A = this chain, B = another copy of it.
Amino acid sequence: MSRASDHAYAAIRAMILSGELAPGAQLSEEALAEACGVSRTPVRDALRRLEGETFIRRSGSQRSFVAEWSLNDLEDAFELRAMLEGHAARRAAARINGLQLEQLRAHNRRIHEAVSTAQPDVMCFLEHNRLIHAIILEAAGSPRLASVLGLLVEQPVVWRTAQHYDRENLQRSHHEHEELLAAFARNDGTWAAAIMTAHIRRAFHAYRDAYQAQLGEPQLSAA
């Protein structure tokens, strides 16, 4: 979709990610239309897309609400994600090329810089971490796997809680990426899959701790 619809999609998505629209909040098409400066038609398009990505849940009578994530949901999603990313790593190990390997190394170097200081640059970590996983997914060469994983990874909870990583977890992630690189360099799919699965499982527990910590401080803002 062109301008208006895309704009509405991006705007609503951003509002959800930033927490401006809190989980459980009801969404009025008209209100969103006014907020985005477009009519209801493109807003409806955007809502349908966001519903497909489980950003939004719809009640029996078709009203829209920002999706809420229980601890069970988080656990459920991460179990799947661990399996799928492990699978992606296994495939990637067999297919990865020199350029991709070098790109992975570069991103992990940037991560190393970001997390070595006393005050780690979490945003920088998140961005390069995202790129690393994207490159692995690309190397895995499975479009379906990529789209399915996208649904699991690009979620508000993941994004919001990830910002609460502590320094130790960030450094461990860097180290696990190093191990992944070693496995890739040797085209050892079994090794890569094991590291990746462990990587995601550990991340899950970090997320869960952060998630539970959040329960104490409701209405967490974007920062």
CA distance A100 to B152 in the complex (A): 28
Instruction: State the number of copies, please.
Output: 2
Contact A76 B143 (CB under 8 A): yes
Query: Is the CB of A213 closer than 8 A to any CB of chain B?
Result: no
A82 to B: closest C-beta gap in Å: 11
Find chain B residues with CB under 8 A from A144 CB: 73, 76-77, 80, 152
Find chain B residues with CB under 8 A from A135 CB: none
Query: Is the CB of A79 closer than 8 A to any CB of chain B?
Result: yes
Residue of B nearest to A52 (CB): B52
CA distance A80 to B143 in the complex (A): 11
Find chain B residues with CB under 8 A from A76 CB: 142-145
Find chain B residues with CB under 8 A from A143 CB: 73, 76
Q: A73-B144, A80-B144, A83-B87 are in contact. List 17 more A-B contacts (CB 8 A).
A: A1-B62, A2-B62, A44-B45, A45-B48, A48-B48, A48-B52, A49-B52, A52-B52, A73-B143, A76-B142, A76-B145, A77-B144, A79-B142, A80-B87, A80-B145, A144-B152, A148-B151
Residue of B nearest to A45 (CB): B48
* Binary B-proximity of A188-223 (CB < 8 A = 1, otherwise 0): 000000000000000000000000000000000000
A72 to B: closest C-beta gap in Å: 9
* Binary B-proximity of A68-99 (CB < 8 A = 1, otherwise 0): 00000100110110010001000000000000
Kindly identify which residue among B45, B62, B80 contacts A148, using a CB–CB cutoff of 8 Å: B80
CA distance A44 to B46 in the complex (A): 12
CA distance A79 to B83 in the complex (A): 13
* Binary B-proximity of A1-18 (CB < 8 A = 1, otherwise 0): 110000000000000000
